[in-house]
Structure 1
Amino acid sequence: MTARVAFYTRQGCHLCEVARVVVDRVCADLGETFEEIDIDTSPALQAEYGDEVPVTLVDGRRHDFWRVDEARLRRALGG
């Protein structure tokens, strides 16, 4: 099963830590999964998302960056 939410982060990112709590809570509440991807593992990901982490994608589409709005994420996931 493929995760509906992709969560792009990097080590040492305070905003990522805050956003991870929201993503984890929403996905757990709605029975969804998320995949966390460290952008520092790939130069291409660094180039694409470097200044915007955390970045969330829902169903392959960009959803939020810098912060995760809990209500908006719930709506996007049908919750």
Structure 2
Amino acid sequence: MSDHVHVEVLTKPGCHLCAEALATTEAACAEFGLSYTETNIENDAALLTQFAEEIPVLRINGTVRDFWKFDPARLRRLLAEATGPSAGR
């Protein structure tokens, strides 16, 4: 199931919250054997317009699940739900 989980962190350069969010995401994804992608919103006008004031943003399978400060416990719970036996049903 975890092969179908796409974890993405929307960021922009110079954002201290983004650095913290990436570290939290990296640690949590490692626990679940998942990778994640980082997307710089400055390279996408639509993302920049939509998320300029909410960076960083966590998306799991395309759905916004968190922004600004990522709580490690919440992130682990979200990943457990996304990779669990009923995920994708």
Unpaired segments ≥5 residues, structure 1: none
Whichever of the two has the greater Rg, that structure is 2
What's the offset of the Cα at 1:58?
A: 1.1
Aligned length: 79
Tell me the TM-score normalized by structure 1. 0.91
Secondary structure in 1 matching 2:77: helix
| Residue 56 of structure 1: aligned partner | 58
Greater fraction of residues in helix: 2
| Residue 28 of structure 1: aligned partner | 30
What's the offset of the Cα at 1:66?
A: 0.4
Distance in 2 (CA, whole Å) between partners of 1:2 and 1:47 is 28
Q: Write out the 4+ residue segments of structure 1 that deviate beyond 4 Å after TM superposition.
A: none
Structure 1 residues 45 and 65: alpha-carbon distance in aligned structure 2, compared to 1, 3 A threshold: same
Q: Percent identity?
A: 37
